[in-house]
A and B are shown apart, each in its own frame.
Chain A
Protein backbone atom coordinates (compact mmCIF):
# COMPACT_ATOMS: atom_id res chain seq x y z
CA UNK A 1 0.00 0.00 0.00
CA UNK A 2 1.13 3.51 -0.67
CA UNK A 3 1.84 5.57 2.42
CA UNK A 4 0.40 8.89 3.47
CA UNK A 5 1.20 11.58 0.94
CA UNK A 6 1.30 15.30 1.53
CA UNK A 7 1.50 18.09 -1.00
CA UNK A 8 3.27 20.32 -1.40
CA UNK A 9 6.42 19.29 0.46
CA UNK A 10 7.74 22.82 0.75
CA UNK A 11 5.96 26.14 0.69
CA UNK A 12 7.06 29.74 1.12
CA UNK A 13 4.46 32.41 1.81
CA UNK A 14 4.41 35.95 3.11
CA UNK A 15 2.57 37.32 6.12
CA UNK A 16 -1.11 37.87 5.54
CA UNK A 17 -1.45 35.31 2.79
CA UNK A 18 -3.38 32.09 3.12
CA UNK A 19 -2.28 28.56 2.38
CA UNK A 20 -3.90 25.18 1.73
CA UNK A 21 -2.13 21.91 2.45
CA UNK A 22 -3.29 18.56 1.17
CA UNK A 23 -3.10 15.06 2.61
CA UNK A 24 -4.00 11.72 1.04
CA UNK A 25 -4.31 8.95 3.63
CA UNK A 26 -3.42 5.32 3.23
CA UNK A 27 -6.06 3.56 1.16
CA UNK A 28 -8.90 2.40 3.40
CA UNK A 29 -8.04 4.76 6.24
CA UNK A 30 -10.87 7.04 7.22
CA UNK A 31 -9.28 8.94 10.09
CA UNK A 32 -6.95 11.83 9.30
CA UNK A 33 -5.20 13.99 11.90
CA UNK A 34 -3.08 17.09 11.48
CA UNK A 35 -0.18 18.24 13.63
CA UNK A 36 2.08 21.24 13.75
CA UNK A 37 5.73 20.62 14.61
CA UNK A 38 8.05 23.45 15.67
CA UNK A 39 11.36 23.40 17.55
CA UNK A 40 9.90 25.45 20.38
CA UNK A 41 6.47 23.87 20.84
CA UNK A 42 7.13 20.35 19.64
CA UNK A 43 4.26 18.36 18.14
CA UNK A 44 0.89 19.96 18.64
CA UNK A 45 -2.43 18.49 17.60
CA UNK A 46 -4.52 20.60 15.24
CA UNK A 47 -7.58 18.52 14.40
CA UNK A 48 -8.84 15.08 13.50
CA UNK A 49 -11.38 14.11 10.88
CA UNK A 50 -13.25 10.87 10.55
CA UNK A 51 -15.72 10.19 7.75
CA UNK A 52 -15.83 13.88 6.77
CA UNK A 53 -16.61 15.04 10.32
CA UNK A 54 -14.27 16.87 12.64
CA UNK A 55 -13.95 14.62 15.66
CA UNK A 56 -11.37 16.49 17.73
CA UNK A 57 -9.86 19.93 17.67
CA UNK A 58 -6.71 21.24 19.29
CA UNK A 59 -6.08 24.62 20.82
CA UNK A 60 -5.37 26.67 17.72
CA UNK A 61 -6.97 29.92 16.57
CA UNK A 62 -9.79 29.94 14.05
CA UNK A 63 -7.34 30.86 11.30
CA UNK A 64 -6.56 27.15 11.17
CA UNK A 65 -9.29 25.09 9.57
CA UNK A 66 -9.64 21.79 7.83
CA UNK A 67 -11.95 19.52 5.99
CA UNK A 68 -12.18 15.98 4.76
CA UNK A 69 -13.65 14.76 1.54
CA UNK A 70 -15.69 11.66 0.81
CA UNK A 71 -12.57 9.85 -0.43
CA UNK A 72 -10.91 10.57 2.96
CA UNK A 73 -8.45 13.05 1.49
CA UNK A 74 -8.05 16.04 3.75
CA UNK A 75 -7.01 19.64 3.45
CA UNK A 76 -6.03 22.17 6.03
CA UNK A 77 -6.13 25.90 5.49
CA UNK A 78 -4.35 28.65 7.33
CA UNK A 79 -5.57 32.17 6.67
CA UNK A 80 -3.82 35.46 7.42
CA UNK A 81 -0.45 33.81 7.90
CA UNK A 82 1.82 34.94 10.71
CA UNK A 83 5.56 34.44 11.10
CA UNK A 84 4.87 32.01 13.94
CA UNK A 85 3.01 29.71 11.59
CA UNK A 86 6.31 28.61 10.08
CA UNK A 87 6.47 24.93 10.90
CA UNK A 88 6.40 21.38 9.63
CA UNK A 89 2.79 20.32 9.20
CA UNK A 90 2.26 16.61 9.53
CA UNK A 91 -0.72 14.59 8.47
CA UNK A 92 -1.44 11.14 9.86
CA UNK A 93 -4.02 8.51 9.03
CA UNK A 94 -5.29 5.51 10.91
CA UNK A 95 -7.42 2.52 10.10
CA UNK A 96 -11.06 2.54 9.22
CA UNK A 97 -12.33 2.23 12.75
CA UNK A 98 -10.24 5.21 13.82
CA UNK A 99 -10.24 3.96 17.38
CA UNK A 100 -7.98 5.42 20.04
CA UNK A 101 -5.82 2.30 20.22
CA UNK A 102 -4.96 2.38 16.52
CA UNK A 103 -1.54 3.65 15.60
CA UNK A 104 -1.27 6.57 13.23
CA UNK A 105 0.78 6.55 10.04
CA UNK A 106 2.44 9.82 9.22
CA UNK A 107 3.22 11.52 5.97
CA UNK A 108 6.53 13.26 5.29
CA UNK A 109 5.08 16.66 6.13
CA UNK A 110 4.81 20.04 4.47
CA UNK A 111 7.46 22.54 5.47
CA UNK A 112 5.82 25.97 5.55
CA UNK A 113 7.97 29.07 5.77
CA UNK A 114 6.29 32.42 6.34
CA UNK A 115 8.36 35.49 5.45
Chain B
Protein backbone atom coordinates (compact mmCIF):
# COMPACT_ATOMS: atom_id res chain seq x y z
CA UNK B 1 0.00 0.00 0.00
CA UNK B 2 1.13 3.54 -0.61
CA UNK B 3 0.46 6.58 1.53
CA UNK B 4 1.49 10.20 1.84
CA UNK B 5 1.54 12.30 5.00
CA UNK B 6 1.57 16.05 5.20
CA UNK B 7 1.93 16.59 8.93
CA UNK B 8 1.03 20.28 8.94
CA UNK B 9 -2.45 21.44 7.97
CA UNK B 10 -1.32 25.05 8.05
CA UNK B 11 2.01 26.79 7.58
CA UNK B 12 2.45 30.51 8.13
CA UNK B 13 5.56 32.35 7.00
CA UNK B 14 6.52 35.99 6.66
CA UNK B 15 7.08 37.39 3.19
CA UNK B 16 10.73 37.15 2.22
CA UNK B 17 11.46 34.31 4.63
CA UNK B 18 12.26 30.78 3.49
CA UNK B 19 9.39 28.33 3.50
CA UNK B 20 9.16 24.56 3.92
CA UNK B 21 6.12 22.37 3.41
CA UNK B 22 6.68 18.85 4.68
CA UNK B 23 5.81 15.55 3.06
CA UNK B 24 6.65 11.97 3.98
CA UNK B 25 5.62 8.87 2.09
CA UNK B 26 5.33 5.13 2.43
CA UNK B 27 5.48 2.89 -0.63
CA UNK B 28 6.64 -0.48 -1.82
CA UNK B 29 9.10 0.03 -4.60
CA UNK B 30 10.59 3.16 -6.10
CA UNK B 31 8.35 6.20 -5.80
CA UNK B 32 7.54 8.93 -8.21
CA UNK B 33 6.88 12.03 -6.11
CA UNK B 34 5.01 15.16 -7.09
CA UNK B 35 4.02 18.53 -5.69
CA UNK B 36 0.92 20.37 -6.82
CA UNK B 37 -0.55 23.72 -5.82
CA UNK B 38 -4.20 24.71 -5.75
CA UNK B 39 -5.44 28.28 -5.76
CA UNK B 40 -9.03 29.11 -4.70
CA UNK B 41 -11.67 27.82 -7.11
CA UNK B 42 -9.02 26.35 -9.39
CA UNK B 43 -7.75 22.92 -10.27
CA UNK B 44 -4.33 21.70 -9.26
CA UNK B 45 -1.19 23.00 -10.94
CA UNK B 46 1.93 20.88 -11.26
CA UNK B 47 5.01 22.31 -9.51
CA UNK B 48 7.70 19.66 -9.71
CA UNK B 49 8.44 15.95 -9.60
CA UNK B 50 11.10 13.48 -8.58
CA UNK B 51 11.64 10.43 -10.74
CA UNK B 52 15.25 9.44 -10.25
CA UNK B 53 18.71 10.97 -10.09
CA UNK B 54 19.56 14.23 -8.35
CA UNK B 55 17.84 14.44 -4.98
CA UNK B 56 17.25 18.19 -5.33
CA UNK B 57 14.54 18.94 -7.83
CA UNK B 58 13.79 22.42 -9.11
CA UNK B 59 10.35 23.38 -10.30
CA UNK B 60 8.06 26.24 -11.21
CA UNK B 61 7.88 29.64 -9.49
CA UNK B 62 11.20 29.19 -7.67
CA UNK B 63 10.12 26.11 -5.73
CA UNK B 64 12.37 23.15 -5.14
CA UNK B 65 12.09 19.88 -3.25
CA UNK B 66 14.58 17.51 -1.73
CA UNK B 67 14.12 13.76 -1.97
CA UNK B 68 15.48 11.92 1.07
CA UNK B 69 15.25 8.16 0.67
CA UNK B 70 16.40 7.27 4.18
CA UNK B 71 13.81 9.56 5.76
CA UNK B 72 11.20 8.84 3.07
CA UNK B 73 10.60 12.55 2.75
CA UNK B 74 10.06 14.99 -0.09
CA UNK B 75 9.81 18.45 1.47
CA UNK B 76 8.92 21.46 -0.66
CA UNK B 77 11.04 24.56 -0.20
CA UNK B 78 11.44 28.10 -1.44
CA UNK B 79 14.23 30.48 -0.38
CA UNK B 80 12.05 33.61 -0.23
CA UNK B 81 8.27 33.44 0.12
CA UNK B 82 5.90 35.72 -1.76
CA UNK B 83 2.37 36.69 -0.73
CA UNK B 84 1.22 35.20 -4.03
CA UNK B 85 2.54 31.79 -2.88
CA UNK B 86 -0.38 31.58 -0.45
CA UNK B 87 -2.35 28.52 -1.56
CA UNK B 88 -3.07 24.87 -0.80
CA UNK B 89 -0.17 22.51 -1.50
CA UNK B 90 -0.46 18.80 -2.16
CA UNK B 91 2.23 16.15 -2.14
CA UNK B 92 1.50 13.02 -4.18
CA UNK B 93 3.14 9.67 -4.80
CA UNK B 94 2.81 7.03 -7.47
CA UNK B 95 4.50 3.68 -8.02
CA UNK B 96 4.37 1.53 -11.10
CA UNK B 97 0.85 0.87 -12.29
CA UNK B 98 -0.78 2.31 -9.18
CA UNK B 99 -2.80 5.48 -9.19
CA UNK B 100 -1.55 8.85 -7.97
CA UNK B 101 -2.12 9.11 -4.23
CA UNK B 102 -2.40 12.54 -2.61
CA UNK B 103 -1.65 13.83 0.84
CA UNK B 104 -4.25 15.81 2.75
CA UNK B 105 -2.81 19.15 1.76
CA UNK B 106 -1.07 22.00 3.58
CA UNK B 107 -2.43 25.51 3.50
CA UNK B 108 0.40 27.98 3.15
CA UNK B 109 -0.18 31.56 4.21
CA UNK B 110 2.49 34.14 3.49
CA UNK B 111 2.10 37.16 5.72
CA UNK B 112 3.03 40.56 4.24
Which residues of A come within 8 Å of B, CB atoms?
4, 33, 35, 42-43, 45, 48, 55-56, 58, 90, 92, 100-101, 103-109
Contacts and interface: CB of A to CB of B under 8 A. Distances in A.
Nearest to B47: A103
A42 B99 contact: no
Contact of B90 (A43, A55, A56, A103): A43
Interface of B: 32, 34, 36, 41-46, 49, 51, 90, 94-105
Contact of A48 (B49, B51, B99): B99
B104 A104 contact: no
A35 B105 CA distance: 15
A56 B98 CA distance: 7
Nearest to B36: A106
A92 B90 CA distance: 15
A51 to B, nearest CB: 15
A106 B100 contact: no
